[in-house]
Structure 1
Amino acid sequence: MIREAEASDVSELYRLYRMLLPNSKKLNVVEERIIEIRNDSKNFIYVYESDNKIIGTLTLTICLEALHGSMSYGVIENVVVDETLRGNGIGQQLMDYAERYCRSIRCSKIMLLSNSKRESAHHFFASIGYDSTVSKAFKKYLRYE
């Protein structure tokens, strides 16, 4: 079952995010932020739950733009499926769920970023229709003392 994350999912989300970023010293998943995202009409954390355990997640943000009339676009981040269950269609179902929502509100496109070293993820995204040749992504991480 796919649903929006709740504050009580914090430890399961942390477990999955740790699989995504195993060496991160900044990883910090807090209930307050999950609640804030859940209450924001443009931001979603979707989770795939099976047998009362969260085994996959992604974050979807809906962005407004002026380029295509009243159409918005979606940005997907933090796609992660439990490493012991990858290849079972869980990621596909999460991505399809996000796409259906974007279509339902008439988004012009969906964009996503993936770490340049996650080759298996790139193959997965390409297999479901995401084209890595049309754009080049840039990131600038902001540092704070």
Structure 2
Amino acid sequence: MIREAERSDKDQIFDLYRMLVPNSKKMHVFEEQIETIRRDPNNFLLVYEENGEIFGTVTLNICLQALHGFRPYGVVENVIVHENHRNRNIGQKLLKYIEDYCKSIECHRIMLLSNSTRQKAHQFFEREGYSGSVSKGFKKYL
């Protein structure tokens, strides 16, 4: 089942993030932040849960813009499926859920960034209809 994350999911979400960025010393997951995201109508921290265990998570941010009238766009971040539960369509289900939601609010597009070294993730995103050749992403860490 896909649902919005709750405060009590903090530890399981942290474990998933640790799989995404195993050497990060700056990573922190706070219950208060999960709750803030949950209350915000334009931000979503989603989890894929089976029998009380969280096997996947993704963040969706809905961004307003003026270029396409009233049509917003979605930004997807931190797509992670537990390493012991990959190849079970969990990531596909999470992205489909996001796409269905974005269509329901008439988003213009969905964007995501992926670490340039994550070749398997890139193949997965392309299978799901995301093009890695349309744009070039840039980041500046602060």
| TM-score bracket, shorter-length normalisation | over 0.9
Q: For 2:41, what is the secondary structure of its paired residue?
A: coil
Distance 1:123 1:55 in 2: 20
Matched letter for residue 107 of structure 1: C
Distance 2:60 2:34 in 1: 13
| Matched residues, number | 142
Matched letter for residue 115 of structure 1: N
Counterparts of residues 43-122 of structure 1 (less than 5 Å) = 43-122=43-122
TM-score by length of 1: 0.97
* Residue identity (%): 59
What are the Cα deviations for residues 9-36 of structure 1, in whole angstroms up to 9, with x where unaligned? Answer: 0000000000000000011000000000
Q: For 1:15, what is the secondary structure of its paired residue?
A: helix
Q: For 2:83, what is the secondary structure of its paired residue?
A: coil
Q: Which runs of 4+ in 1 moved over 3 A?
A: none
The structural deviation recorded for 1:72 is 0.1
What are the Cα deviations for residues 102-135 of structure 1, in whole angstroms up to 9, with x where unaligned? Answer: 0000000000010111110000000010001110
Distance 1:11 1:4 in 2: 15
Matched letter for residue 141 of structure 2: Y
Q: For 1:100, what is the secondary structure of its paired residue?
A: helix
Distance 2:54 2:21 in 1: 17
Q: For 2:24, what is the secondary structure of its paired residue?
A: coil
Counterpart position of 2:11 = 11
Distance 2:98 2:7 in 1: 20
What are the Cα deviations for residues 41-85 of structure 1, in whole angstroms up to 9, with x where unaligned? Answer: 000001000111000000000000000000000000000000011
Q: For 2:13, what is the secondary structure of its paired residue?
A: helix
Cα root mean square deviation, aligned: 0.4
Distance 1:111 1:133 in 2: 12
Distance 1:98 1:50 in 2: 19
